[in-house]
Structure 1
Amino acid sequence: MTPVIPARPSGALPRSGWALRDGWTVARRDLAHWASQPGQFIVGLLFPIMVVLVFAYLFGGAMAVPDGGDYREFLLPGMYVLTMAFGVEATFTAVATDASRGITDRFRSLPMSGSAVVSGRCAADMLNSALGLAVMVACGLAVGWRFHGGLGAALAAVGLLLLLRFALLWVGIYLGLLARSPEAVMALQILVWPIGFLSNVFVSPDTMPGWLGALAEWNPLSATATAVRDLFGNPGWGEGTWATRNALLLAIAWPVLLVAVFFPLSVRRYRRLSR
């Protein structure tokens, strides 16, 4: 019996529904992999949880926060940001693994929406990141962190964190399609880790050399960290610079810029695979 290949729907609305269905199918496939092999998710959370415990109980006593604030309340919003940033490694590895094994090419040969592979990966990783953020918030509450800005402000802070993850997700998708080798994750770590620590997550940029402090203040991670500290009602490092005073604006502008750059690059790279 000859298989019948369904025709691609015509019209904007039917094609959109088709793309959403195919994207959700790919997302379910990725989620099924995590459900059957939860080790990757657990290991991905161990590092930020370990850092929280080390800084909260080992180094925290030596850290001075303005106005005598609790260092743990200062630290945790920054750790939420780092958790979102380090998630780019998992995205990169998953995309590069599928590309290196030819799975992505097989998807491209099927009668499915051309955007389903990247949109499905995006949906699965965002669900994974939301769960990881919930675990980190629970860890923060366990070590004494609290939010004081009200529920609405706290939800807005969570929204900013997920917006940052969404933007960095497209960076991971593009680099994964570009590298097509999961072993290249070590090179990505060399890039991501310095960017993550060159921020105001752990210490004030005022303690750094002038040029280095300026880079830290304009780091997208610093903008989100400062904005979510304000929304959570947690202590920060003061409001001496334009970047600090306008952290909320930058926490939205940086992710929008990253998506504007890396989303079209990801789509273009996906279409050019195997050419």
Structure 2
Amino acid sequence: MSSLRRVQAEFVASWHSFLRRRTAVFFTFFFPAIIVLIFGALVQTQPTGGGLFAEPKEYYIAGYLAVVVLFTPLSRVGSTIARHREGNRFEKLATTPLKRSEWLLAHSLVNVVIIGLAALLLLGLSVLVTGAAVPVALSTLAIIPFVALGVTLFCGLGSIIGRVADSQDGVIAASNAIALPLLFLSETFITPDLLPAWFVPALNLSPLTYFARGVRALTYTGGDWIGNLAILAVLSLGFFVAGTLAIPQTD
């Protein structure tokens, strides 16, 4: 069996496993919807009021997308690895031709599809509920590689968390502890001018910052999105390699 066939087989198995978990399917798509409804429709933006949510509606599209790109891969991949470890699944996988990189690639692709659909739903809700105007241009399609690379990056990080945490509960706790600071300190919802001047350079340390900057350049500000995409691609490759090495061969 070729590498492509092995990845395909694992992809299909993981995809059907996701579909069988109806609660997971529901909340995967309900979560981004409720985020838009709460922040976009209830809180709303106040472009002239100052403080939080003081930017135009279009500014926060990148933040909405960042929510699903960040949280879903961390928890899904991390929990899957923790569950496999508890069930000694990796000992069984070690007896098959499936490589660790192929396993992570297959699960990353599943997450890319799932989160891609959730991101599409989120974009549609942003337009319908908040009245945000998404540019209709060929370059806007570059959101697709941003989402794919962002998901791959956080799948790699989720793999590391799944290896380090000692249980599925530990994965959820660790994922939230990492994701919440990243979400609000990566130029998503909080603008740099609201942060202390000494902390602003630290925003460049977050991989989510490059996702937010690139998507915002495509959907709101214009400007350089290619540079942010290139940086995100390098970081995604690095995290994917690290995540591959973190996957246990046996337990």
Q: 1:218 to 1:60 in 2, by over 3 A?
A: farther
Give me the whole-angstrom Cα distance separating, in 1, the residues matched to 2:95 and 2:33. 41
Give me the whole-angstrom Cα distance separating, in 1, the residues matched to 2:235 and 2:95. 32
Shift of 1:165: 1.4
Question: Counterparts of 1:99-178 in structure 2 under 5 Å?
Answer: 99-113=85-99, 115-143=101-129, 144-148=131-135, 150=137, 152-178=138-164
Aligned match of 2:190: 203
Q: 1:93 to 1:219 in 2, by over 3 A?
A: same
* Amino acid of the structure 2 residue aligned with 1:178: V
Greater length-normalized contact order (CA 8 Å, ≥ 6 residues apart) = 2
Q: 1:200 to 1:65 in 2, by over 3 A?
A: farther
Determine if contact 2:88/2:250 at 8 Å carries over to the other structure: no
Task: Kindly indicate whether residue 232 of structure 2 is the aligned counterpart of residue 254 of structure 1.
Answer: yes
Determine if contact 1:78/1:225 at 8 Å carries over to the other structure: yes
Aligned match of 1:94: 80
Give me the whole-angstrom Cα distance separating, in 2, the residues matched to 1:64 and 1:41. 38
TM-score, with structure 2 as normaliser:
0.85
**Aligned residues: percent identity?**
18
Task: Kindly indicate whether residue 246 of structure 2 is the aligned counterpart of residue 269 of structure 1.
Answer: yes
* Amino acid of the structure 2 residue aligned with 1:215: A
Task: Kindly indicate whether residue 216 of structure 2 is the aligned counterpart of residue 229 of structure 1.
Answer: yes
TM-score, with structure 1 as normaliser:
0.78
* Amino acid of the structure 1 residue aligned with 2:11: A
SS of alignment partner, residue 211 of structure 1: coil
Q: 1:209 to 1:91 in 2, by over 3 A?
A: same
Aligned length: 245
* Amino acid of the structure 1 residue aligned with 2:67: L
* Amino acid of the structure 1 residue aligned with 2:210: A
Determine if contact 1:73/1:146 at 8 Å carries over to the other structure: yes
SS of alignment partner, residue 199 of structure 2: helix
Aligned match of 1:78: 63
Shift of 1:84: 0.5
Give me the whole-angstrom Cα distance separating, in 1, the residues matched to 2:24 and 2:132. 26
Q: CA RMSD in A?
A: 2.7
* Amino acid of the structure 2 residue aligned with 1:225: A
Determine if contact 2:149/2:232 at 8 Å carries over to the other structure: no
Give me the whole-angstrom Cα distance separating, in 2, the residues matched to 1:178 and 1:50. 31
Shift of 1:221: 2.0
SS of alignment partner, residue 198 of structure 2: helix
Unaligned runs of 5+ in 1: 1-16, 237-244
Shift of 1:271: 5.4
Give me the whole-angstrom Cα distance separating, in 1, the residues matched to 2:218 and 2:97. 46
SS of alignment partner, residue 237 of structure 2: helix
* Amino acid of the structure 1 residue aligned with 2:162: G
Shift of 1:219: 3.1
